[in-house]
Amino acid sequence: MFKVTMVLQSGIFCKLADALIKSKIYSDYVQAHLAPSGYLKFPNDIPHYMEKCSFLPKLNNEIPEERNTTYKGRFSSLQNLVLIMFENDNVLIPKETSWFGYYPDGDFKPIVPAHQTALYTEDWIGLKALDEAGRLHFVNVSGGHLGISESDMKKHVVPFLVDEASVEKYSNARAHGHPRTITQNYHRKQVVGRFIDEISNERILDGSSSYQWPSSVKNFFRELVGLAEENDSD
């Protein structure tokens, strides 16, 4: 659930939109014209939410007669799902929604942990399947909404950019007695190098034109895993 006052900025039109969302959140007009309204779930108005909310019920596979098995299958096929909760998040209300926790239907307390929600226990989207397969990871970091630090990125995100083939090459190199630093560097270069090559070649449509990833994006990933320092010293 998004706190609308944090999504909309100051100004007369934004204030009017904020008031409109709060008063008639699930009306056809608000749902069709104000994008944030599709993300809002009020636990004290579940019937209207299920009937009128344009986005979130579908995303969560909440509507029994409309549950998408293809969507669930694709979601549960993820190699890893890393759910990051920001300790001082004031956009997601409650912050535990980052982990699929939420309020119980009909009340704003207490917060129901993800494992106790119907979404998890009935496995509407494949979250339980991922968890039971050991591919669901809950991470808690300090900071505000999406304010993840570089050190937390390295600790919690970078390890999951590694695919199984790279892990096997890394393990084989260690098994043949190569020094730890050499195999670690090889491992990182293989993973990040392949990722950078992919985004370098990818064309992204932007209206009627297309462009390639800028060098700053490529350099960011290099620095994130420490390749920039190594290249400078080579």
**Could you tell me if 43 and 53 are in contact, meaning their C-beta atoms sit under 8 angstroms apart?**
no
**Distance between CA 58 and CA 148 in Å, rounded?**
28
**Distance between CA 138 and CA 110 in Å, rounded?**
20
* Domain match, 141 and 170 both: no
Whole-number pLDDT of residue 205: 42
Span 44-64, pLDDT tens digits = 999 999 999 999 999 999 999
**Distance between CA 145 and CA 87 in Å, rounded?**
8
pLDDT over 70, % of the chain? 59
In the predicted model, what is the mean pLDDT of residues 167-171?
49
For the CA atoms of 105, 40, 136, 96, what is the dihedral angle to 10 degrees? -70
Give a yes or no: residue 157 inside a domain.
Answer: no
pTM (predicted TM-score) = 0.66
Compute how many other C-beta atoms are within 10 angstroms of the C-beta atom of residue 157.
14
Q: Residue 118: pLDDT above 50?
A: yes
Span 89-112, pLDDT tens digits = 988 889 999 999 999 999 999 999
* Domain match, 31 and 82 both: no
The residue segments making up the domain with residue 98 are 67-147
Q: Residue 234: pLDDT above 70?
A: no
Give a yes or no: residue 153 inside a domain.
Answer: no
Give a yes or no: residue 9 inside a domain.
Answer: yes
Q: First-to-last CA distance in the chain? A: 49
Span 57-88, pLDDT tens digits = 999 999 999 999 999 999 999 999 999 999 99
**Could you tell me if 66 and 60 are in contact, meaning their C-beta atoms sit under 8 angstroms apart?**
no
* Domain match, 43 and 81 both: no
* Domain match, 47 and 28 both: yes
- Comparing 164 with 180, which gets the higher pLDDT? 164
**Distance between CA 161 and CA 146 in Å, rounded?**
19
**Could you tell me if 51 and 26 are in contact, meaning their C-beta atoms sit under 8 angstroms apart?**
yes
In the predicted model, what is the mean pLDDT of residues 142-156?
88
By three-state DSSP, how is residue 8 classified?
A: coil
Tell me 55's DSSP state. Answer: S
Whole-number pLDDT of residue 180: 44
Whole-number pLDDT of residue 53: 94
Tell me 162's DSSP state. Answer: -
Compute how many other C-beta atoms are within 10 angstroms of the C-beta atom of residue 130.
20
| Domain end position, chosen among 113, 147, 181 | 147
* Domain match, 97 and 123 both: yes
User: For the residues of 16-30, what is the DSSP string, one character each?
Assistant: HHHHHHHHSTTSHHH
Span 193-218, pLDDT tens digits = 555 555 455 444 444 444 455 555 55
| Domain end position, chosen among 95, 118, 147 | 147
- Comparing 10 with 139, which gets the higher pLDDT? 139
| Domain end position, chosen among 42, 59, 76 | 59
Whole-number pLDDT of residue 150: 85
